[in-house]
A = this chain, B = another copy of it.
Amino acid sequence: MENERVPEVVEKLDLDELKDEIVELIDGKKYGLMRSKLLELNEVDIAETLEEINDRMGLEKEILVFRMLPKDVSVDVFAYLPEDDQIDIINGITQSEINQIVQESAFDDMIDILEELPANLVDRILMNTPKEERKLINTFLNYPENSAGSLMTIDYISFRENMTVDEAIQHIREVGLDSETVYTGYVMDDSRHLIGVVSLRSMLVVDGQTLVSEVMHDENILSVTVKTDQEDVSKEFKRYGLLALPVVDNENRLVGIITVDDIFDVIDDEATEDFQRMAALSGRADEEYLDKSVFSHIMSRLPWLIALMCSYIVTGGIITRFQDMLSAMICLVTYMPMLSGTGGNSGSQSSTLIIRGLATEEIELKDAAKVLWKELRVSFCIGIVLSILNMVRVMLLDGNGFMVGLTVSLSMIVIIIVAKLTGSMLPILAKVIGLDPAIMAGPLVSSLTDLVSTLIYFVLATQILQL
């Protein structure tokens, strides 16, 4: 997708109305008018309208409308369609139409399309591609899924250091339309080593006879390798506010660039991955909820539920051991869900804050002691407030005695402190031993807190109530 795409779109609200209108026009077979209405839209919005046509009127109509688009528009629209629609359309159009789409797509879009398609379709598509290009495509298809290699494109602008700025700008004029971005150029030596980076802005403000080598930045050039994880790539973009980032191989030879428009998806996927891990969900983060089958939903949820259930077996064991005490004072059961639930909630609060802080790099491992000290003070104060509220509840609302109130209130303070310290330290511990801190979140912390809080409550009860 072109990097400096100039917005030419309608606002969301109008878009919904336009979709209705277009559906009506298709219904009335007024295809000419429909087509011209549709072509007033930006490619992003045309793709969304096609999806809507599929939802409301079926695949056949979507393919029909897709085929009516001018070839140059349909190529861009195709790139914006979700994977499912892409596969359906590929299956519904002719081989020559497929070839057209693949050959006209931007290189990184084409790789994205090929990556998602079933193998037999990829073979059909690559059948007519020249051998050299097929080799390059296969290299790209083999980069690991979340690596810089899978994000990059080969459509960048390169200069020689002995070019003048005028020559460089002339070069941009010639190849600019096919490049992902024209605003940053990359300077290579004879062996394709990256030796400099130059912005179009810096070339515009100097004399045209200046050499590229004089305006380029050539010290400590920021780059990533094809194997760099996409999360690290997105961190570089955020940290330095980049528009593009060069990708090099092990010998520092330039092999591609990544542009900022492809980073938005990465940031969203990384956040989604964290959300899912924090809610005890395994599996891929880039699959859409509605597209995912019931079976694969079950497989992403069941393992964690079973694992967490095991910690409750231990909690159950503790309860069984204290069964006689509970029988002797059955009103103690009343406060079990409140104590463990509140413990779980306050542990979740802490773990979420720390997980997020680690993810955005506001909190580092060396801050562990500061975090511990802060959580200790916070949990002590919160524990005091909640224990006073509970004393009031137990004695005034439920009419139980002072000793029961004391048991519940004291348990509350200890539970809150334990929950918050556990919740805040587990993510840091996970990071130390190389695990993703996000797994040490709500569900796991709640399950552990449940176990500990049950034990604390019962031990305090036996002591205070002499049971």
A residues sitting closer than 8 Å to B (CB atoms) are 1, 3-10, 40, 42, 44, 169, 172-173, 176-177, 182-184, 197-202, 204-205, 217, 219-223, 236-243, 245, 260-261, 264-265, 267-268, 271-272, 274-276, 278-281, 288-290, 294, 297-298, 301-302, 304-306, 308-309, 312-313, 315-316, 319-320, 323, 326-327, 330-331, 333-338, 340-342, 344-346, 348-349, 351-357, 360, 362-363, 367, 370-371, 374, 377-378, 381-382, 385-386, 389, 393, 397-398, 442-443, 446-447, 450, 454
Contact = CB atoms under 8 A, between A and B. Distances in A.
Given A4-B184, A204-B173, A330 B334 contact: no
Given A288-B357, A305-B345, A345-B446, 4 more contacts: A6-B197, A308-B341, A316-B335, A336-B336
A348 B280 contact: yes
Contacts of A354: 289
Nearest to A275: B356
A389 B306 contact: yes
A6 B202 contact: yes
Contact of A348 (B177, B182, B355, B443): B443
Given A204-B173, A443-B345, A222 B386 contact: no
Contact of A240 (B44, B290, B363): B44
Please classify the interface of chain A as helix (H, G, I), strand (E, B), loop, or mixed, using the class held by over half of its residues. Answer: helix
A215 to B, nearest CB: 10
Given A316-B337, A382-B302, A446 B344 contact: yes
A337 B312 contact: yes
A59 to B, nearest CB: 17
Contacts of A241: 1, 3, 5, 261, 264
Given A183-B183, A345-B304, A446-B344, A40 B219 contact: yes
11 contacts: A3-B241, A9-B222, A42-B220, A271-B271, A272-B356, A297-B378, A305-B342, A323-B330, A327-B327, A337-B450, A446-B446
A308 B378 CA distance: 18
Contacts of A340: 337, 341
